Amino acid sequence: MIKANKVYSVKEIFLTLQGEGYNIGTPSVFCRFSGCNLWNGLEKDRKKAICSFCDTDFNGVNGINGGKYKLDDLVKKINSLWPKRKKNKFVVFTGGEPILQLDSNLIKRIRKYGFRVAVETNGTLPLPKGIDWVCVSPKIKSKLIVKKGNEIKVVFPQKNITLSEYEKLNFQHFYIQPLENKNVVLNTKKSIRYVLKNPKWKLSIQSHKFLKIK
């Protein structure tokens, strides 16, 4: 049972264009929840984390529109960022790991405002009902339990990863995304070569980074 007085810890909320995957270029309100079950943020050395390559700041509540929100306040804040009287409302719940906090109450309430609901998850926790678009980004050292959805997006390369294993899962779209580190140019070339040889996969790039938007 979900507590009526539940408080959501949110790092940031902002209107932007989706920068990755199938919905690239789509106007979206991003609601980034604080916290992740694969890295608690307390270790100074991210190399000790399961996904040590993470480049997202999901700790605390000090981002734009960040804070501690009750349900109604969070829904109103998200809705306030969408252009007034405009349709095609789209919200992306992300993190960190959004499924630590995203629940059916929030999903039902935001959908009443006309939003389609997307989630970007590492796939290690069961999903609440009512999500319209599921994007799973698995990490090689974690146990994947969400094995179906709209898109799977794998950071590449990861040590000991076997992409062909993910092809057995029930997703509509399969993406690999070059690992952003000092070897990003090489990683991009490797990703392109893999996609060309394995056309079940598509290339996803972090377009928001070179567009210099959030």
CATH number for the domain spanning 141: value is 3.20.20.70
pLDDT of residue 210: 80
Token pair belonging to 49 = 């984390």
| Number of domains the chain is built from | 1
Q: Which residues of the chain have pLDDT under 70?
A: 1-4, 40-57
* Domain contains 135: yes
Q: Does residue 28 contact residue 214 with C-beta atoms inside 8 Å?
A: no
Query: What is the number of other CB atoms lying within 10 angstroms of the CB of residue 193?
Result: 10
Rounded Cα distance between 153 and 3, Å, is: 33
Report the chain's C-alpha Rg in angstroms.
17
* Domain contains 175: no
pLDDT of residue 54: 61
* Domain contains 48: yes
Q: Is 27 helix (H, G, I), strand (E, B) or coil?
A: strand
pTM, full prediction: 0.90
Domain that holds residue 102: 7-152
* Domain contains 166: no
pLDDT of residue 4: 59
Q: Does residue 76 contact residue 113 with C-beta atoms inside 8 Å?
A: no
pLDDT of residue 42: 46
Residues of the chain above pLDDT 90, percent: 76
Q: Does residue 84 contact residue 67 with C-beta atoms inside 8 Å?
A: no
Task: List, by residue number, the catalytic residues.
Answer: 30, 36, 51, 54-56, 120, 208
pLDDT digits 0-9 by tens, 45-66? 545 555 556 656 678 899 999 9
Token pair belonging to 85 = 């009287």
The residue ranges of DSSP E strands in 39-86, in sequence order, are 67-70
